[in-house]
Every structure is written in C-alpha cells, then in structure tokens.
Amino acid sequence: MNWNWNQIFGLSVVGAIVTTTGTLIGLFLKEVFFARSLERWKAKQTLEQISQKYREPIALTALELCNRLTQICEDYPPNFLDSDLLNTSAERPTLNSAADLYFRRYRLISTVYRLCAFLSWIELYRQDMTYLDAGNNKNKRRVDQAIFAVRSDLADGQLNTAQDWADWHDALLFREEQRAIGESMITAVGNARNVLGYAQFCDLFPATEQTGRTRWIKTAAAFFFDMKSAKDFRHIRIQRMIAHLVELVEILAPTRLRDDHQRAYSKFSKVLSKDAV
C-alpha cells in the first residue's frame, strides 16, 4: 500500500487530536468531576457525623423538657412556678409532699434548666451546621422544621388568635433571645464544647450578680414565672411545645418515645388547630 504525505500528515493530526482530547477529558474528570464528587462525599459524611453527634442529646433534652411541660399542664397552674420561691432557702425536704418548699423550689429551677439545656443543644447543632451545604438532605429538613416549630411556640405573638387576645397574659422568648440563652449555657474544655450541667447551672441561677450568663437564664425563667389560672396564653404555648417536641423526637430517636409521650401528643396536639383558642 502506497501512502502519500498528505495521508500520513492527516493521520498524525487525527491522532494528536484524539490524544489531546483524551488527555483533556481525563484532566476534566480528575480535576472537576471527581474532585466535586469527593467534596460532596466529604460534605455528606460531615453532615452525617454532626447529625449523629447531636441526635441523642437533642432527643434526650427534648424529652426531659416535654415531661416537665406535661406535668405543668396536668396540674395547671402548678404550685412550683412561683417567682417568690427564688427568695426562699431550704437545704433539704421536710415534707413528703408536693407542697414541700425544697421540692417546689427544685422543680422551678430544674424546669428553667431543662428549657435552657434544650436551647443550648439546639444552638450547638445550629452553629456546627451553619457552614455546611446540606443539599437535598430530607432528614435534615425535617429536623429543622421540627426545631423551627418549637422556636415558633416560644417566639410568635400572632399564635393567639382569640378575639380578646389583648386581655390575655403572655410571655415570649424571641428567636435571637433563644439563641442567646443557648449560647449562655455552652461551656468549653479545650476544643470540646458541651452544655452546662445542673450543678454548674445552680451556681448561676438564682444569683444576685448580673452576668452575661445569668441575664439570659433569668430571661428564660421569666417565661415560666407566675402563670395565671385563666387567659394565660403560655398554657397554650406549652401544650404546643409538647406536641412539637414529641414530633422532633419522633424524627431523631423514635424508640425513646413511651406510651405516655404518645398520649400527651394526642391530648395536646389539638391546640395546633387554628380554632384552638
């Protein structure tokens, strides 16, 4: 077979084009496609690690808060949400009764602690998630929606749709205040961050000195103080929170829900209706 120079030159050009194209495609796959896939995989792994880290603490503090809120609603208005109890002192119980001064004071302080601890774990979760692109992660969206609902129960004044809403007593914890309360409960040991334990909390609340932490703890406490027997919208807010906390735990750790939580949900979720008030 006789080849002329034009044919040889043409084949060389085609070969060079094919080689160059293959090299460019390889570079693209390596530098763009595979790199982006690796970044998405890393982001997904980080998202899963953070979700695993906070799933149990948020679920546990949500249930502890839910349990106390249920007790408040079952015996509303309770005798332990009296602000005057903070001015009393009792070193130990003297009566085997719910009327015992020490017991009532303990329940007041621990109620505030449970709310503050829950908001603190939510804030830690929010901070760690801030710079992550969750993409279309369905589970994260469900968690965020459930958390948003609880925050709304505490913050939104328009939830009271009664015609005589101006005659009702109420108290709000606005969203940035909720974040500040959560921040005030965060403690750090080295690079590890955690939530203040109950012993440390009792050193801060109640306290006569006004610090950044005590200020926000007192803000949280004011939500519970001196609930009225009638036309106090905090009663409705607490019932809404019970329902939304159960929904949050249902997403995070459904096996931790007991029959009494489901009964509380069935009973108090009715207030989520627009016509509940």
Q: Which residue numbers in the chain have pLDDT < 70?
A: 1-18, 20-47, 133-135, 274-277
Of residues 128, 120, 118, 123, the one with CA closest to residue 52:
128
5 located within any domain: no
Measured CA to CA, the distance from residue 166 to residue 181 in angstroms comes to 27
Task: Give me the half-sphere count of Cα atoms (radius 13 Å) on the Cβ side of residue 218.
Answer: 13
- HEC sequence for 171-199: CCCCHHHHHHHHHHCEEEECCEEEECCHH
Contact 242, 251 (CB under 8 A): no
64 located within any domain: yes
In tens, the pLDDT along 248-266 reads 999 999 999 999 999 999 9
pLDDT recorded at residue 8: 47
Q: Find residue 192's DSSP bridge partners.
A: 189
9 located within any domain: no
Please state, in angstroms and as integers, the Cα–Cα distance from residue 248 to each residue in 60, 62, 72, 198, 274, following that order: 11, 8, 20, 23, 21
pLDDT recorded at residue 5: 46
In tens, the pLDDT along 54-69 reads 999 999 999 999 999 9
DSSP string over 19-58: HHHHHHHHHHIIIIIHHHHHHHHHHHHHHHHHHHHHHHHH
What is the overall mean pLDDT for the chain?
87
Run of H or E residues at 125: helix 101-129
Pair of tokens at residue 142 = 């469900």
pLDDT recorded at residue 153: 98
Pair of tokens at residue 265 = 């949900």
13 located within any domain: no
pTM given for the model: 0.83
Pair of tokens at residue 26 = 């390889």
46 located within any domain: no
* β strands within the chain, DSSP E: 186-189, 192-195
89 located within any domain: yes
pLDDT recorded at residue 2: 52
Measured CA to CA, the distance from residue 186 to residue 253 in angstroms comes to 23
59 located within any domain: yes
Pair of tokens at residue 201 = 């909390």
pLDDT recorded at residue 32: 58
pLDDT recorded at residue 126: 94
What domain range is 195 assigned to? 54-272
Domain count, the chain: 1
Burial class (CB in 10 A: 0-12, 13-18, 19+), 26: exposed
Strands 192-195 and 186-189: antiparallel
pLDDT recorded at residue 258: 97
Interior CA angle at 181 toward 54 and 249, to 5°?
A: 35
Pair of tokens at residue 185 = 């409960």
pLDDT recorded at residue 22: 65
14 located within any domain: no
